[in-house]
Amino acid sequence: MDDNTRAANALALRNAAEALRGNRFGAEVFATGAEAAKAVLALAAVGSTVGLGGCMTAQALGLPAALEAAGSRVITHAPGMSAEERRGVWLAAQAADLYIASPQAVTADGKLIFLDGSGNRAAAVICGPRRIVLIAGVNKLARSQEEGLWRARNTAAVANNIRLKKDNPCVKTGRCGDCASPSRICNAVTLLWKKPSYSDVRVLLVNEELGY
């Protein structure tokens, strides 16, 4: 990213943060992922529980290991867990002190879009955890709700299908065909128009590409 693009992106992120605040979300802009990660660590008190879905942005920032090293207990599912074990983890994450996730899109008018297979993240970002922190790189910006939904299906979901080695049509075509595959990972759309009434939701926008 050259300096001019970085400056233009900073303005777009500033505008998105203003729109998010207009929708009652907390919103801040960070120049780098490292600065955003530092802010997350400051929010997680020693001994706190931190819920985490399959968040590639958090992984890219090294947050799971950093939070554990700082004295938090990270609650997340892992490969090989049974359905019942996952259910237990997801319910515990739902009641965590802090929940970290990343939306697939942040719209210019301050809406947040999530697309999920199981819906554990969907439940958590609406209501449950004491604090919800959503981290979004500049690549998540979308001009409209329609563009955000398009991005969730045709950019984020395709990349996640490839990452998860799913044999769904999009891994061959490179676009979402709204498949009927039993291994489909796109089952629940969460669209936060405004901050849910009793939830503490803070959005950290980052002027770097992060996650899908």
Q: Which residues bind ligand SF4 (CB under 6 A)?
A: 153, 157-158, 161, 168-170, 176-179, 181, 184-186
CB of residue 176 vs ligand SF4: minimum separation in angstroms?
3
- DSSP letter assigned to residue 31: S
Nearer to ligand SF4, 71 or 174 (CB): 174
Question: SS3 breakdown of the chain: % helix, strand, coil, rounded to 5?
Answer: 40, 20, 40
Nearer to ligand SF4, 158 or 204 (CB): 158
CB of residue 110 vs ligand SF4: minimum separation in angstroms?
25
Helix (H, G, I), strand (E, B) or coil at 201: strand
Nearer to ligand SF4, 47 or 182 (CB): 182
- Tokens 């947050």 belong to 63
Buried b (16+ CB within 10 A) or exposed e, 129-138: bebbbbbbbb
Nearer to ligand SF4, 84 or 167 (CB): 167
β-pairing verdict for 141-142 and 131-137: unpaired
CB of residue 53 vs ligand SF4: minimum separation in angstroms?
17
CB of residue 34 vs ligand SF4: minimum separation in angstroms?
31
CB of residue 156 vs ligand SF4: minimum separation in angstroms?
9
Nearer to ligand SF4, 88 or 169 (CB): 169
CB of residue 182 vs ligand SF4: minimum separation in angstroms?
10
Nearest-angstrom CA–CA distance, 202 and 86 = 26
DSSP letters spanning 120-182: HHHHHHHSSSSEEEEEEEGGGEESSHHHHHHHIIIIIHHHHHHHTT---THHHHSS------T
- Residues with Cβ within 8 Å of 178's Cβ and at least 6 positions away in sequence, in order, are 153
Nearer to ligand SF4, 9 or 168 (CB): 168
- DSSP letter assigned to residue 36: H
